A = this chain, B = another copy of it.
């Protein structure tokens, strides 16, 4: 019998620590990202976990033939770290010996080692396993991981408990036809459109909960902002005094995540030339006021009194930015007719709900609001909407046996990332997008 003792020691150095090894011979590993042949020597770019490091090959000090190196070969490298003041890092890596761990069978049909992957969106996504190896492509999803890390740290510090709610469900939270159907051992089941019911139930347990997990929407839209599967950052909190408590929490969460990026993701921010937005305060405007503002300012007739057209969201963001400098804007008091059955109506005007969306650079990234917590109120609302109350028995259990005033929100992780990077298509911030035409790779 062997004993596995969790020993993670290695003789390999991490590229980030190279500067501590000046004057020494070191071991490291990575993929050959690019070979630049010069006269008498070559620059060999090595792709490691997070960075791409320039190494120098020369017959003078390299004990192998450059021709044995292929792009996308994985190697173990022995190199000398030499002080070099002309290098902006202050040192350079001279390749001494290599051990080729694996070689590609073929060259990638798409050039992935230029500054940008210069191809169609279609190709970029079809070849995701390869195109993600591009320096900038992969930086996008490192930043996304950083955003999640920031969100989790913040929510944890604020006393939220992480939950894992089921994705196979017996009823949809959002209603409507936009739901994927599943044959579940002969029973009808669906893919969760949102963790809505579960996070509310869990407010009765922990007061504050959050979940970062996939949700599924069978929407037939084929636009630059729709995905049929996306990561929803959900939180829900009890004992709120106003639905603005939720908006304040979101401002805190966004600020915290951007700070996390600023502190620990400088490499990626610089690579992608990201200018982080200011999120210390976010202006808030009522839905109908916003509608009228856009109508007047841009001389547009209001066609839809219950929702924004995508163009209106862009114009509103533009107007707010001009007026206040903010690239975010909360829109509150959406019409009751357009919000789900669990949305709390404004007691002073039941045609409006105590709800909000958050727009960021012209795109809705969050929907949230206060929920009905009183059993009788919820039942009578459902009946007025001709809903079959008996289908929601387990959901309504919490109302029946006692719930605090509460509310929460859902934020689309890919939409937020995408707008943060000023992209024009949410797919660019989706690792492996699912849309009505795409279910691979």
Q: List A residues at the B interface (Cβ < 8 Å).
A: 1-8, 12, 14, 29-31, 48-50, 70, 72-74, 76, 101-108, 126-130, 132-133, 138, 141-142, 144-145, 148-149, 152, 156, 158-159, 161-170, 180-185, 187, 189, 191, 197-198, 201-202, 204-208, 213-214, 216, 218, 220, 228-229, 231, 238-239, 244, 247-249, 251-252, 255, 280-285, 323-324, 330, 373-376, 394-395, 397-405, 413, 431-434, 436-437, 439-441
> Which residues of the partner chain B approach A102 to less than 8 Å between Cβ atoms?
373-374, 402-405
Closest to A249 in B: B8
Once the chains are docked, how many angstroms separate the CA of A376 from the CA of B373? 60
Q: Are B282 and A397 in contact (CB under 8 A)?
A: no
Q: Which of B50, B152, B182 contacts A152 (CB 8 A)?
A: B152
Which one, B29, B104, B213, B247, contacts A402 given CB within 8 A? B104
Report the bound CA distance from A293 to B379 in whole Å: 62
B402 touches A73 (CB 8 A): yes
Point out the residues of chain B lying under 8 angstroms from A170, CB to CB: 439-440
Please judge, given known A-B contacts A170-B439, A185-B436, A206-B49, whether A5 and B248 are in contact too, CB under 8 Å: yes
Q: Which residue of B is nearest A164, CB measured?
A: B231
Which residue from B1, B204, B229, B375 sits with its C-beta under 8 Å from A166? B229
A72 & B106 in contact (Cβ 8 Å cutoff): no
When distances are taken between beta carbons in the complex, the residues of chain B under 8 Å from A74 are 238-239, 402-405
Known: A181-B183, A374-B102. A159 touches B398 (CB 8 A): no
Q: How far is the CB of A388 from chain B (nearest CB, A)?
A: 14
* Residue among A48, A102, A281, A401 with most chain B CB within 10 A: A401
Q: Which listed residue, B5, B156, B182, B374, touches A280 by the CB 8 Å rule?
A: B5
Per the bound structure, the CA–CA distance linking A436 and B74 in Å amounts to 45
- Complex Cα–Cα for A439 and B152 (A): 28
Task: Point out the residue from B70, B191, B244 that lies within 8 Å of A4, measured CB to CB.
Answer: B244
| Alpha-carbon gap, A144 to B158, bound state (A) | 18
In the bound assembly, the distance between CA atoms of A129 and B204 in angstroms comes to 8
Contact of A129 among B106, B138, B189, B397 (CB under 8 A): B397
CB pair A106–B205 under 8 Å, yes or no, is no
Q: How far is the CB of A122 from chain B (nearest CB, A)?
A: 13
CA distance A145 to B181 in the complex (A): 30
Contact call B439/A168, Cβ cutoff below 8 A? yes
Task: List the B side residues contacting A231 at CB < 8 Å.
Answer: 164
Give the residue among A4, A239, A376, A400 with the most B Cβ atoms within 10 A.
A4
Task: A6-B252, A30-B207, A165-B432 are known; give 12 further A-B pairs, CB within 8 A.
Answer: A2-B284, A2-B285, A12-B239, A74-B403, A76-B239, A102-B405, A129-B394, A141-B161, A144-B164, A149-B156, A168-B228, A198-B431
Cβ of A280: which chain B residues have Cβ within 8 Å of it? 5-6
In the assembled complex, the CB of A393 is this many whole angstroms from the nearest CB of chain B, namely 8
Closest Cβ of chain B: how far from A235's Cβ, in Å?
Answer: 13
Q: Report yes or no: B213 in contact with A214, Cβ–Cβ below 8 A.
A: yes
Nearest chain B CB to A339's CB is how many angstroms away? 20
Residues of B within 8 A of A202 (CB): 132, 431
Which of chain B's residues have a CB closer than 8 A to the CB of A376?
A: 105
Residue from the list B166, B401, B432 in contact with A104, Cβ < 8 A: B401
Instruction: Tell me, in angstroms, the Cα distance from A283 to B191 when the chains sit together.
Output: 41
Q: From A166, which residue of chain B is reached at the shortest CB distance?
A: B432
Task: Determine the chain B residues whose CB is within 8 A of the CB of A168 once the complex forms.
Answer: 180, 191, 216, 228-229, 434, 439
